[in-house]
Structure 1
Amino acid sequence: MHPLVFPWTVPSAVLGVLAYVLAVVAAAVVGRMVYNRGEGKSLGSPIVAGAFAFLLGAWFVSTKTPFEAQPIPLHTYGLMIALGFLFGIHLAARAAEKYASVDGLAFYLPGAPTLRQAAREKGDAGTYTGKMAREHLLDLSFWILAGAMVGARLLFIVVNWEGPNGYGANPSRIFDLTSGGLVFYGGFIGAALTSVWYARKHGINFRALADICIPVVALGHFFGRMGCMAAGCCWGKVCENANFLFGAEFPKGALAHGEMARSPEWASFIAEHGHTPALHPTQMYEGLGELALFAILLLFRKNKRFHGQILAMWLMLYAVLRLSIETFRGDWGRGMLLRWPEVDPVLLSTSQLVGVGMVVLGAVLFFLWKPRSAAPAVPAAPAAAA
């Protein structure tokens, strides 16, 4: 396990250049958002908004320079999250373009502005619709990232509010991102709410959008769990058999090592051996399960019968996977709503409670959305869209 890919110390001059580059990127993002809001009718407003954003960013950077040289370690966890997000967005945007090129209603609602514009196009309407679906997916990715980060952080704060080391007793730690952490369920809820808002605003069929994005959510979650494995977080219980084939021993620097070293039960063991006892690699268990979910959802998406089918299936399948994995978890930062049994509890963590709700919600949505006729409700997906 390697929490850090390698440590960097960035010189002052490089930090200054990077800060100005970041101001340019921020200005480009602002300009693009204004351009999309105006549906591309004018370049004047995006240019003015982008220029204003750059000047504001450049002024802010100039007040902070020169920067002191800073050690900026490249964390494996952050790298894996970034790779999962970028790879997932690429696959989802590609699928959205191919689906919408075949049938605009595979992505948009009837009467959506994009469909009306496609009907007025002199060229290939399908090509235009597919291109705009890709653009909307890429634009949405920024909002999904923001919503997911906020939701994941908020749920972590909620489940770790109580106790002398909780956020209730130490409110100044709420905005200290270096102290951890994030909760996947919170991130999913935040991303889902953001997606609903964006879909309604642009006339996108949310259920169709979800079916396109959900498989890559499973793939991105796989990357995230590999990052957890490297960082040593979300660890499992101590293996009953110290020679268990899949047992993972976390070295100094891993979160599991640091937490268990402060535990009276394991402090002497870690001091003597320099690593944790063999733990169930729950990160690996869940990561492999996510890969399986990714393959299953892609297979069903090719021949789905109604919009929302893949979303409903994922809600049920992932919840069952998570409920199973939770019984092997041994970390103490996930929040226990009911400790049963009192020693080494298997019920009921916050994630298990959310998982039960997801199973019920997925089943209800599946039967509500399932068409009553035997005929397919949606056109077959293009082969390359998978």
Structure 2
Amino acid sequence: MFPVLVDLFGIKIYTYGVLVATGALIAYFLSLRFAKREGLNTSHIENALLLALLLGVIGGRLAYVIEHPEQMRNFIDAFAIWNGGMDFFGGLLGGVLGAILAIMWYKLPVWKVSDIAVLSLTIAHAVGRLGCTSAGCCYGQLFPVQGVSTPGIHLSNRFPFFYIVFPEGAVAPPYTPLYPTQLMEFAGLVLIFVVLLSAYRKKPFDGFVFSLYMLLYGLLRFFLEFYRGVTPPIPGLGLTWNQVVSLFMIVLSPVLMFLLRGNRKAQTV
């Protein structure tokens, strides 16, 4: 709703960038706190975070550019993250690659780090979705209401019981009632974080929180894709590629839980 946070003498500070940076800082401090609890070397975790963040940003923006070439009017636009944002699954893939490289280099315990990573990622992702709301990226489909064009958040008697209208200058179509997919995902991610944090405190084995994240976020994203207006369905399938990835996460989650649980039992025998 407010793409530019500060405009001072022609120097613009974008709300999207500030919120994404805030989410990254929260993830950083949470990761260090959990790393200490797990008895891990915090310096190694710091370096792993930096590499995962760097490759995550590169992967997220690259995937967005590939997915939305019509928005790239020139070479510079490909690097303007505040113009359209990033693709989450592209960022996730890049971040996972960075984390794997760091885990291999420092010989870190894979599943302990994975549990820590998804906790931090979930809350950072939630804050990032507030950034998406400010910029208007990742916007939803048309909301079924007539005669409303005033920018803001409006209540409704239809699910999800509110909708959003963006002003001129946002990535989303201006003065058009849209499903508030950014805020819907924010709420879902906050709920997932609470569930994961509770599970982390009593996790039966390393990797449990990571597996649970794949299930919960896969379900959330699969559902939200029906309301998002930025990713067209795959021809002949009726699902977006994000939904295909979400289904993969949902199916893989119980399989991974079963394998990790069995491995833990084997080690304790």
TM-score band, normalised by the shorter chain? 0.7 to 0.9
Q: 1:197 aligns with which of 95, 101, 105?
A: 101
Distance 2:5 2:71 in 1: 30
Are 1:137 and 2:45 an aligned pair? yes
Distance 1:156 1:256 in 2: 15
SS at the partner of 2:239? strand
Map residues 295-374 of structure 1 onto 2, 5 A cutoff: 295-331=194-230, 334-338=231-235, 347-371=238-262
Are 1:3 and 2:25 an aligned pair? no
Distance 2:61 2:93 in 1: 11
Distance 2:190 2:23 in 1: 12
Are 1:250 and 2:166 an aligned pair? yes
Alignment-mate amino acid for residue 177 of structure 1: A
Are 1:152 and 2:91 an aligned pair? no
1:176 CA drift (Å): 4.0
Are 1:88 and 2:27 an aligned pair? yes
1:72 CA drift (Å): 2.7
Alignment-mate amino acid for residue 360 of structure 1: V
Question: CA-to-partner distance for each residue in 1:118-170, whole Å, 9 max, x for gaps?
Answer: xxxxxxxxxxxxxxx22112222211111101111222233335xxx377xx7
Distance 1:376 1:241 in 2: 58
1:96 CA drift (Å): 0.4
- Normalization by structure 1: what TM-score? 0.61
Are 1:289 and 2:188 an aligned pair? yes
SS at the partner of 1:240? coil
Alignment-mate amino acid for residue 259 of structure 2: L
- Normalization by structure 2: what TM-score? 0.86
* Percent of residue pairs bearing the same amino acid type: 29
Distance 1:205 1:158 in 2: 34
Map residues 1-386 of structure 1 onto 2, 5 A cutoff: 1-9=1-9, 71-100=10-39, 107=40, 133-160=41-68, 165=70, 172=75, 175-177=78-80, 179-242=83-146, 244=156, 245-257=161-173, 275-276=175-176, 278-331=177-230, 334-338=231-235, 347-371=238-262
1:307 CA drift (Å): 1.3
1:372 CA drift (Å): 6.7
Gaps of 5+ in 2: 147-154
1:373 CA drift (Å): 7.2
Question: CA-to-partner distance for each residue in 1:254-301, whole Å, 9 max, x for gaps?
Answer: 11135xxxxxxxxxxxxxxxx22x211111111000000101001011
Compute the RMSD of aligned alpha carbons.
Answer: 2.4
Question: CA-to-partner distance for each residue in 1:316-343, whole Å, 9 max, x for gaps?
Answer: 1101000001111123xx3432367xxx
1:175 CA drift (Å): 3.9
Distance 1:205 1:199 in 2: 7
Distance 1:364 1:200 in 2: 24
Question: CA-to-partner distance for each residue in 1:88-135, whole Å, 9 max, x for gaps?
Answer: 1101101101220xxxxxx4xxxxxxxxxxxxxxxxxxxxxxxxx221
SS at the partner of 1:7? strand
1:366 CA drift (Å): 1.5
Structure 1 runs of 4+ off > 3 angstroms? Answer: 170-176, 178-181, 372-377
1:230 CA drift (Å): 1.2
1:8 CA drift (Å): 2.6
Are the aligned partners of 2:196 and 2:209 in contact in 1 as well (CA < 8 Å)? yes
SS at the partner of 1:257? coil
Question: CA-to-partner distance for each residue in 1:217-258, whole Å, 9 max, x for gaps?
Answer: 110011011111111111112222446241111111211135
- The aligned residue for residue 61 of structure 1 is none
- The aligned residue for residue 53 of structure 1 is none
Gaps of 5+ in 1: 10-70, 101-106, 108-132, 259-274, 341-346, 378-386
SS at the partner of 1:336? coil
Distance 1:222 1:201 in 2: 30
1:361 CA drift (Å): 2.3
Distance 2:187 2:34 in 1: 23
Are the aligned partners of 2:118 and 2:209 in contact in 1 as well (CA < 8 Å)? yes
Distance 1:175 1:235 in 2: 19
Distance 1:188 1:209 in 2: 15
Distance 1:87 1:203 in 2: 25
- The aligned residue for residue 37 of structure 1 is none
- The aligned residue for residue 151 of structure 2 is none
Distance 2:94 2:33 in 1: 23
